[in-house]
């Protein structure tokens, strides 16, 4: 946490930068997490147009092209002390938000996987090679069965996580497990689906490459695959392996 918030009278002065912020230049209000004078992580509301606050869009993206992604820059941004979130203290505040997002990703990744699988299945039934649909060949059936097998496991994992959430029993290592597993599975499924379509798999007539590119980003954001792996590892072993 490099961004700092320095108390000055009835205001806070914020300095720092945040990368990879969805709709950063579109939003009217940003929630910025920063360390205060005591080294405590606090949340602050920063309004668009505040002097010293700017958002720079990241250009040339091959992924997440449906939304704007920005860098937020704070240079001596002065905001009223009342803009500090009163109940959010420490990492618990931002991590609670991330837990909700990661829960949603576990489901969303399966949605992308299902789109890729359905595309590959329908394509294989209509693509004729050697006088029959390629769906009739063993290797293609192997790919399709592997995809639907992984989707079914991912759906069951997300469903159980949702049940635990409804019961108030969901734990963050369980969220990490679901996010890690389902995104990894979905990315693999998108690549297998692309194989089934052959050269047509890279055409924008089909959604596979769009999902594959987006999943490459999802593999990293809201906690990288490796960090979630170590989070689960810590929960399983009782030993933290973080650097």
Helix (H) or strand (E) holding 138: helix 138-166
Catalytic position from the list 71, 150, 195, 222: 222
State both tokens at 205.
């007539």
Distance CA 171, CA 161 (A): 9
Chain position carrying tokens 């389902």: 182
Residue (of 82, 105, 98, 94) closest to 186 by Cα position: 105
205 catalytically annotated: no
State both tokens at 74.
């704070």
Angle formed by the axes of helices 172-197 and 92-126, nearest 10°: 20
131 burial class (0-12, 13-18, 19+ CB within 10 angstroms)? Answer: exposed
Largest CA distance in the chain: 80
State both tokens at 240.
């933290």
Active site residues per annotation: 222
């Amino acid at each position: 946490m490099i961004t700092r918030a320095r108390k000055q009278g009835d205001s806070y002065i914020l300095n720092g930068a945040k990368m990879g912020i969805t709709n950063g230049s579109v939003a009217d209000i940003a929630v910025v997490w920063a360390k205060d004078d005591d080294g405590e992580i606090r949340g602050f509301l920063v309004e668009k147009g505040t002097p010293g606050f700017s958002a720079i869009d990241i250009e040339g993206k091959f992924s997440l092209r449906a939304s704007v992604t920005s860098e937020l820059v704070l240079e001596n941004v002065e905001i009223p002390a009342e803009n500090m979130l009163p109940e959010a203290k420490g990492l618990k505040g931002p991590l609670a938000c991330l837990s909700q997002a990661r829960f949603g990703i576990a489901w969303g990744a399966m949605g992308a996987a299902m789109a890729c699988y359905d595309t590959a299945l329908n394509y294989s039934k209509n693509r004729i090679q050697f006088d029959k649909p390629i769906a009739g060949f063993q290797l293609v059936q192997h790919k399709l069965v592997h995809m639907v097998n992984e989707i079914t496991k991912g759906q069951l994992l997300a469903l159980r996580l949702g049940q635990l959430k409804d019961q108030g029993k969901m734990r963050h290592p369980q969220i990490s497990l679901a996010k890690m597993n389902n995104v990894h599975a979905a990315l693999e499924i998108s690549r297998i689906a692309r194989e089934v379509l052959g050269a047509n798999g890279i055409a924008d007539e089909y959604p596979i490459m769009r999902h594959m590119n987006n999943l490459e980003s999802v593999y990293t954001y809201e906690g990288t695959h490796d960090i979630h792996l170590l989070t689960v590892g810590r929960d399983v072993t009782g030993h933290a392996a973080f650097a």
